Amino acid sequence: MTGTLNSLSDKALTDLPATVGKPAYNRADLKTGIIHLGIGAFHRAHQAVYTENILQDDPSWGITGVSLRSPDTRNALAPQDYLYSVAVRDGAGEKLHVIGCLTDILVAPENPEAVLQAMCQPDIRIVTLTVTEKGYCYAPASRTLDESNSDIIHDLKHPHAPRSAPGFLVEAIRRRHASGLQPFTVLSCDNLPANGETLKRITLRLAELTNPELGRFIAEHVAFPSSMIDRIVPATTDQDRASVSRALNVKDQWPVCTEPFSQWVIEDHFPSGRPSWEKSGASFVRDVAAFELMKLRLLNGSHSTLAYLGFLAGHKTVSATMAAADFKTFIRAMMDEEITPTLPALPDFDLSTYKDQLIERFCNPALHHRTAQIAMDGSQKLPQRLLNTIQNRLLAGQSFDRLALGVAAWMRFVTGKDENGQAIDIRDPLRDQLLQATAGLTTAQDILNVLLAFDSIFASELTQNARFKAVTLQQLETLLTNGATKTVQDFKSVNTKA
């Protein structure tokens, strides 16, 4: 029983089974060089692992994590000396590695000043972020700062005690500049289009609203390289915690579970220095854009489509959805026929193999990636994952019926009732507005009309396009009439002409 086990800790490292990987360096030698905003499961399974693997050569790149919302991760990991395990799972089994690169975890709402002081330490050379799309406080349709966001309104009034990720960046950069410290590099690791450029635009706008001179300094002197990240990291369950603890023979309150595949492509622009992440398998390139677009559209667009259709069809996980009749065929056809033609050329990159890998990853039975988890925050994800691809198809006069079905499935999902009339637990920044707008509506036309009025989601190029509205309406009507399972099974591509 895990309740009788000792807790994971520095002291317990020597007692771990020989099959478990552990830090290959002396943790007492660690220094903090990176502040990470958004210390969630994805960061701990991705960037932290890349960093872990280079610390034996350079222990100056330890990471202090910052939670912008909940103290849960800090509360779980502080008693474990900030150690945790990564469980890499596939059909062949599980491999465990204990990660030691975290030096501290701060909880911003408890003490924003402590976070700012940490960001202003001279040794901090990089600030990384995984705060999800909604954490950037931006309007996805326009990719600009949402100046009506409640956290942004607060940060404009109280810049010295911020709540938002952009607010912490602006105030920390201001303090470092005032103290004569070199600015840190800001590295977004979230699924945003041109995430470095987008974060720079958001940060600049917030700075300009508080101090135009600071805005000019950021524009000229702060680097915001873009990156593309890829690894599937499901939410950790109590069952996961119990099984990992048994395998470790010590109790790990906060492990992360993931797949073998991992990819990180980074624009190489770090004026203040960077870790040798390439030694861990990261790729440094001059331009990330093509890789980022490939991933956003092929992986994330397909993932969201599977999540909404799979959830509506009654499947709790992505692998269960892929195992159901015709879903695999549907999603591969969407990749090949509707998404791939919108992507720029990637010299020396085998796109067909990449799509094969995606299908294999979606089918991984060991991950248990919940469709409900992927479906979260759809109002923030839809533009870059599906709508931008549809705009490309429209401009080219090409069909987009499968993509439109993904959008229609989101529309069906956010009405808040599943196909059996049961309530759906909608988790989205616009939850209340979406539920209020669709309350009592029964026809596809009415649902389409009220949702297209959300201009933070749907750009005018789409809402004013008769073909987009007609195709999406057709898919939504079919979903409402036949349900997700039959719609996918009966799906036939309709090559609508421009």
Q: Which amino acid is at 116?
A: L
Predicted local distance difference test score (pLDDT) of residue 193: 82
Last residue of a domain, one of 254, 285, 316: 285
Supply the range of the domain harboring residue 258.
2-285
Task: Looking at the structure, tell me whether residues 253 and 401 fall in a common domain.
Answer: no
Domain assignment present for residue 52? The answer is yes
Task: Looking at the structure, tell me whether residues 356 and 410 fall in a common domain.
Answer: yes
Instruction: Copy the structure tokens of residue 353.
Output: 């193999």
Last residue of a domain, one of 230, 255, 285: 285
Task: Looking at the structure, tell me whether residues 187 and 294 fall in a common domain.
Answer: no
Predicted local distance difference test score (pLDDT) of residue 209: 96
Residue 327 phi/psi, 5-degree rounding, is: -65, -40
Domain assignment present for residue 202? The answer is yes
Task: Looking at the structure, tell me whether residues 348 and 470 fall in a common domain.
Answer: yes
Q: Which residues contact 91 (CB under 8 A, 6 or more apart)?
A: 364, 365, 366
Task: Looking at the structure, tell me whether residues 167 and 294 fall in a common domain.
Answer: no
Which of the four pLDDT bands, split at 50, 70 and 90, describes residue 492?
low
Percent of residues, the chain, with pLDDT higher than 90: 92
Which of the four pLDDT bands, split at 50, 70 and 90, describes residue 141?
confident
The three-point CA angle 277-282-288 to 5° equals 120
Domain assignment present for residue 495? The answer is no
Task: Looking at the structure, tell me whether residues 94 and 106 fall in a common domain.
Answer: yes
**Sequence-ordered alpha helix ranges (H) in 276-430:** 289-294, 301-312, 318-323, 327-333, 351-362, 371-374, 378-382, 388-395, 401-413
Which CATH number is 180's domain given? 3.40.50.720
Task: Looking at the structure, tell me whether residues 109 and 143 fall in a common domain.
Answer: yes
Task: Looking at the structure, tell me whether residues 256 and 316 fall in a common domain.
Answer: no
Q: CA of 490: how far to CAs of 47, 477, 479, 482, in Å?
A: 41, 14, 11, 10
266 - beta bridge partners?
A: 227, 284
Q: What is the mean pLDDT of the chain?
A: 95
* CA dist., res. 282 & res. 264, Å (int): 5
Number of domains in the chain: 2
Domain assignment present for residue 185? The answer is yes
Domain assignment present for residue 423? The answer is yes
Which range, of 37-46, 186-195, 214-223, averages the lowest pLDDT? 186-195
Task: Looking at the structure, tell me whether residues 182 and 316 fall in a common domain.
Answer: no
Which CATH number is 312's domain given? 1.10.1040.10
Task: Looking at the structure, tell me whether residues 147 and 246 fall in a common domain.
Answer: yes
* CA dist., res. 41 & res. 362, Å (int): 19
Strand 263-267 and strand 227-230: pairing? antiparallel
Task: Looking at the structure, tell me whether residues 304 and 203 fall in a common domain.
Answer: no
Q: Which residue do the tokens 């404009």 mark?
A: 156
Task: Looking at the structure, tell me whether residues 227 and 299 fall in a common domain.
Answer: no
